[in-house]
Amino acid sequence: MVKPLFFYGSLRHAPLLEVVLGRSLDSGAATAATLLDYAAYAVAEGPFPTLLAEQGSHAQGLLVSGLTASDIARLDFYEGGFDYDLVDVVLDGGQMAQVYVCGPERWTAVDLWDFDGWLSQWGAMSCHAASEVMGYLNSRTRDQVAAMFPQIRARAWSKVLAAGWTAGQEVFAGQVEIERKSRAYAGYFAVDEVSLRHQQFDGSMTPLLERSYFIAGDAALVLPYDPVRDRVLLVEQMRLGPLGRGDAEIWHLEPIAGRIDPGETAEHAAIREAREEAALELRSLEPVAKGYSSPGDSTGYYHIFVGLTDLPDGAAIIGGLASEVENIRSRLTSFDDFIAMAERQAIANTPLALLAYWLAHHRSRLRS
């Protein structure tokens, strides 16, 4: 017989628990409970807690009964990626239960766990992430999935960002029927294959279509501009896209760019990437555009800015994070030379070309 389980951390959030279980909770299966002489602490390594024995403290949580062996197997897969395993405990009032814990040395405990604060900031992202994690239940080990957590969270955070913004294009809102969706590849990026039908402009449905799309996280792009010196800073680095296409030029000129990390806004990511890639401090950001890089085949979504800053002669450096094996050379370019590059189609990066023409349109305002 499966003992009731006590959840003190993120799985206190019933929608997240149901994603992991792959089913809805039975009515009355979950009740509030307290575990004495333990405390839940947030950890420095991620938006989740750890449980530590602490005399005189208590941990609030959710007691769930009626779980099956299949439920436990799914929970073991999910929690095991964080190195949590089941142990027996006695709750306040004498109720026997089990709880997922790990060794006290596994994570770096910081402050007491704030469930409501976690729910507000991370609840939606965690549900999206758990959905991807549980999709690997029968194809990957829990350790393999754990190694993918940074990418999984980045993809989940993109879904949160997508839910918070609509372009308002006033376009056709037709039906889409998905018959099958599967993950064909998952690593730093991912690829999904999908069988679908969609409504056409005359109201009819298409035949079954077999399609695939590339899954990338949202990215922030920023072109540093010095309105006093009237110059921009471009970055140059080796890029895999040109390599895979067979381009003769593998190193390309780009704006500063990087993935938006979970919990970040696009603005914070742009400012951080300017520091990491070019050691620049941006005074302010000018929003330029938001949009898909290639909506026909990719979820990649760009948040594009011009960043106002000082660009003295010594600003061009070789930068990037050593931890990410980045080797990025920055280049100072006058506005006249920059727009001339765009005019003769010497810019092979389309967001950078967009930035050139946006800057040409707004340059007088920025310089004033």
The full DSSP string for 115-167 is HHHHHHHHHHHHHHHHHHHHHTTTTS-HHHHHHTHHHHHHHHHHHHHHHT---
Give me the amino acid identity at 320: G
Structure tokens at 327: 């080797």
Break the chain down into helix, strand, coil percent, rounded to 5: 30, 35, 30
Q: Is residue 115 within 8 Å of 12, Cβ to Cβ? A: yes
Cα–Cα distance for residue pair 41/1, rounded to 1 Å: 30
Look at strands 219-226 and 301-308 and give their pairing: parallel
Q: Which of 177, 324, 326, 343 is catalytic?
A: 324
Q: Which residues contact 229 (CB under 8 A, 6 or more apart)?
A: 311, 312
Nearest to 217 by CA among 161, 273, 149: 161
User: Is 324 tagged catalytic?
Assistant: yes
Give me the amino acid identity at 298: S
E strand or H helix at 86: strand 85-90
Q: What is the dihedral of CA 9, 12, 18, 21, to 10 degrees?
A: 50
Please list the active-site residues.
Answer: 324
